[in-house]
Amino acid sequence: MNLVIGATGFLGTEICRQLAAKGKPVRAMIRSTSDQAKVGKLKALGAELVQGDLRNRASLEAAYQGVTTVISTASAMPFSYQPEANNIQTVDLEGLTNLISAAQVTGVSRFSYTSFSGQIDFDFPLRNAKRAVEQRLKNSGLVYTILHPSYFMEVWLTPAVGFDASNAKAQIYGTGKNPISWISFKDVAQFAVESLDNPAAQNAVLELGGPEALSPLQAVRIFEEVGGKPFEVQHVPVEAIAAQQKAATDPMQQSFSGLMLCYAQGDAIEMQEMLRAFPLKLISVRKYAESVLAAS
């Protein structure tokens, strides 16, 4: 049985979908407070549902019964953050540590963990939590796969962070000239699912990007070409982002500023060797732009 943690998130749901499409057994962990529309999607996929909470060790051990593989995409960021209850400390650090500890005592043999790019190396709470969990997993004795995806198109090329394609406006962090290997969450899900049966993923860290590394300004130009109209581009200087991070007291704001600083320095990932081991067809920024603008 494959247990997906973070199953109601956009990546977790896609992993459940792809597992079900391959005929692999899927159990999705949800909370009593989970969005019922999202729970309904998981039911429609044929996933077996189980309640559990990262902060409740007993619930995890119950959810793990009969499970051989755990696939975790759980994180408080970017969309489920709640300062008092669902935060980086309780979810991304303590919650994931609970997941690993429970896996060690319940017969789980394999653990897949979605982190983020290994080139994101600034000092901020989310980065520090994820790197600590990675080390904990490496030392656990479990067979592990750690996914290091670059920046998700469906987050960083959307209005949520100032990239508003439907209104042809883009907020760019830094000069916008440093390449990033933008990746679709659908392709991250592909790697997560394919990793279960691929020996190249056993006890491995997979650095993942899309089919090409493009600077933010190059991404803007692709959207301009696809949409047929110029963008209004606004730059946020690195100095302003660093000052924002220094002034922030909330761990989410500190982490978001840290991710913006890493975006500004670029995150190009060479995928040639990875695609030899995992011969997958990846979604390009142009293909993503076409889908976004067709829907707007």
SS (H, E, C) 140-194: CCCEEEEEEECCEHHHHCCHHHCEEHHHCEEEEECCCCCCECCECHHHHHHHHHH
Q: What is d(CA 53, CA 55) in angstroms, rounded to the nearest whole number?
A: 5
> Digits of tens for pLDDT over the chain (296 positions)?
999 999 999 999 999 999 999 999 999 999 888 889 999 999 999 999 999 999 899 999 999 999 999 999 999 887 676 777 778 999 999 999 999 999 999 999 999 999 999 898 889 999 999 999 999 999 999 999 999 999 999 999 999 999 999 999 999 999 999 999 999 999 999 999 999 999 999 999 999 999 999 999 999 999 999 999 999 999 999 999 999 999 999 999 999 999 999 999 999 999 999 999 999 999 999 999 999 999 87
Angstrom distance (rounded) from CA 8 to CA 23: 20
The per-residue pLDDT for 35 is 86
pLDDT, position 237: 98
* pLDDT of the residue at 207: 98
Residue 149 pLDDT: 98
The DSSP annotation for the chain comes to -EEEETTTSHHHHHHHHHHHHTT--EEEEE-TTS-HHHHHHHHHHTPEEEE--TT-HHHHHHHTTT-SEEEE---STTTS-BTTTBSIIIIIIIIHHHHHHHHHHTT--EEEEE---TT--S--HHHHHHHHHHHHHHTSSSEEEEEEE--BHHHHTSGGGTEEGGGTEEEEETTS-S-B--B-HHHHHHHHHHTTT-GGGTTEEEEE--SS-B-HHHHHHHHHHHHTSPPEEEEE-HHHHHHHHHH--SHHHHHHHHHHHHHHH-B----HHHHHHS--PPPPHHHHHHHHHHH-
- Tokens 């790019």 label which residue? 117
Question: Rounded distance, CA 53 to CA 216, Å?
Answer: 37
